[in-house]
C-alpha cells in the first residue's frame, strides 16, 4: 500500500501539472485563430467566453485535453470494433505488425549476438555495420523495403513488420552481446575445470546469464517495434493502423483525431512494455531471482 501511495502521488501530481500546462497552451495557441473568427463575425466576447471558445474549436491548433478524451472515448468504446474509425481496430492493425516485427527482431538480434560472441571475425566486422544501420533515417528506408518486398511478391503484414524488425533487432543484439559475455571469469574457469564443451558452456552458463539482459533490451525493442510499425504505415499508403490514422488526420487537419491516435499509440506502447516487464519478472522468479 505504501509503495502504491509512494508512486501514485508523484505520478498524479506530474499528470495534473501536464494537464494544466496543456490547457494554458491550448488557450494561447488557439487564440489567434479564435480572434480572427470573432473579428470576422463582429463579435466581442468576454474573457471567459473567449477562453471557452478556444477550447471548443472543431479543428484546433492544439486540442484541449477534454476534446481528445471525448474523441478517444467515442472512437474506442462507441464504434463497432470492425469499423475503420475505431481506434481499437486501428490499434490492432498496428499491434499485429508490431508483434510480428518484434518477434522477428528479437530472434534476429539473438542470432546476430550469438554470432558476434562466438565468431571473432563477426565480432570485428559486423558491429560497425549494425550501428550504421541504425543511423539511417527509417522514414527513408521504409518505402524502399515495401517496394522491394512487393517486387518479390511479399505484401501485407510482413513488409510493415520488417520495418519493426529493422528497429528492434538492434537493442536486442547489443543487450545480448553484453549478456552472453556477462559470466564472470571464475564461472568460465569452473566450466573449464569440468572440461565442458563450448556448447555446454553456452547453454549452461552463457544463456542463463544473459536472460536479464535479454528482457531489458526487449523492453526497448518492443517500444522501437511499435514506432517502426507506425512509421511503416506513413509512407506506404496503409489504409488502417495508428500511422494511417495520423496521416489521415494530418490530411484533413483533424488535429483532435491525430491526438487521440497518439494517445492510443502511447497506451499500446505502455501496455507492451508492461507485458515484457511482467514476463521478465516471471522468468526471473522461475530462475530463482531474489524477490525485490
Partner 1 sequence: MTGTSPAVVAASKLGLTFQTNDGPVQALSNVDLTIGKGEFVSFIGPSGCGKTTLLRVIADLEKPTSGTISVNGMTAEQAREKRAYGYVFQAAALFPWRTIERNVALPLEIMGLSRAEQAERIKRTLDLVNLSGFEKKYPWQLSGGMQQRASIARALAFDADLLLMDEPFGALDEIVRDHLNEQLLQLWARTNKTICFVTHSIPEAVYLSTRIVVMSPRPGRVSDIIESTLPKERPLDIRETPEFLAIAARVRDGLRAGHSYDD
Compare residues 143 and 289 and give the one whose CB is closer to partner 1. 289
- Smallest separation, CB 257 to partner 1 (Å): 48
Residues 272-291 that bind partner 1 (CB under 8 A): 287-290
Helix (H) or strand (E) holding 231: helix 207-233
Compare residues 38 and 284 and give the one whose CB is closer to partner 1. 284
Residues 74-133 that bind partner 1 (CB under 8 A): none
- Smallest separation, CB 184 to partner 1 (Å): 7
Residues 167-206 that bind partner 1 (CB under 8 A): 184, 186-187, 189-196, 200, 204-205
Share of the chain residues as helix, strand and coil, in percent rounded to the nearest 5 = 80, 0, 20
CA distance 199 to 207: 10
Number of residues that bind partner 1 (CB under 8 A): 21
**Contact string 203-232 vs partner 1 (x = CB under 8 A):** -xx--xx-x---------------------
Compare residues 82 and 195 and give the one whose CB is closer to partner 1. 195
Q: Which three cell numbers stand for residue 115?
A: 554470432
CA distance 222 to 204: 27
- Smallest separation, CB 179 to partner 1 (Å): 13
- Smallest separation, CB 182 to partner 1 (Å): 12
Burial class (CB in 10 A: 0-12, 13-18, 19+), 232: buried
**What is the DSSP annotation of 98-157?**
HHHHHHHHHHHHHHHHHHHHH-HHHHHHHHHHHHHHHHS-HHHHHHHHHHHHHHTT--TH
Give contact residues for partner 1 (rule: CB under 8 A): 184, 186-187, 189-196, 200, 204-205, 208-209, 211, 287-290
Amino acid at each position: 500500500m505504501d509503495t502504491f501511495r509512494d508512486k501514485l502521488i508523484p505520478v498524479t501530481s506530474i499528470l495534473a501539472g501536464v494537464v494544466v500546462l496543456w490547457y494554458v497552451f491550448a488557450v494561447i495557441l488557439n487564440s489567434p485563430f479564435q480572434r480572427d473568427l470573432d473579428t470576422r463575425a463582429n463579435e466581442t466576447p468576454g474573457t471567459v467566453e473567449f477562453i471557452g471558445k478556444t477550447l471548443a474549436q472543431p479543428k484546433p491548433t492544439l486540442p484541449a485535453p477534454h476534446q481528445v478524451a471525448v474523441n478517444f472515448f467515442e472512437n474506442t468504446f462507441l464504434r463497432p470494433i470492425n469499423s475503420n474509425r475505431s481506434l481499437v481496430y486501428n490499434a490492432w492493425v498496428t499491434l499485429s505488425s508490431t508483434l510480428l516485427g518484434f518477434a522477428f527482431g528479437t530472434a534476429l538480434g539473438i542470432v546476430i549476438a550469438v554470432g558476434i560472441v562466438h565468431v571473432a571475425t563477426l565480432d570485428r566486422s559486423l558491429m560497425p555495420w549494425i550501428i550504421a544501420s541504425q543511423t539511417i533515417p527509417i522514414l527513408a528506408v521504409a518505402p524502399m523495403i515495401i517496394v522491394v518486398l512487393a517486387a518479390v511478391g511479399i505484401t501485407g503484414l510482413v513488409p510493415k513488420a520488417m520495418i519493426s524488425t529493422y528497429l528492434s533487432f538492434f537493442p536486442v543484439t547489443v543487450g545480448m552481446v553484453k549478456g552472453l559475455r556477462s559470466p564472470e571469469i571464475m564461472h568460465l574457469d569452473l566450466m573449464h575445470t569440468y572440461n565442458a564443451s563450448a556448447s555446454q558452456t553456452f547453454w549452461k552458463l552463457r544463456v542463463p546469464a544473459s536472460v536479464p539482459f535479454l528482457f531489458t533490451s526487449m523492453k526497448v525493442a518492443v517500444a522501437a517495434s511499435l514506432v517502426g510499425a507506425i512509421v511503416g504505415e506513413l509512407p506506404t499508403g496503409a489504409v488502417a493502423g495508428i500511422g494511417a490514422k495520423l496521416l489521415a488526420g494530418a490530411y484533413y487537419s483533424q488535429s483532435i483525431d491525430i491526438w487521440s491516435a497518439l494517445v492510443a499509440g502511447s497506451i499500446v506502447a505502455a501496455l507492451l512494455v508492461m507485458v515484457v516487464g511482467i514476463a521478465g519478472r516471471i522468468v526471473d522468479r522461475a530462475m530463482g531471482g531474489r524477490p525485490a
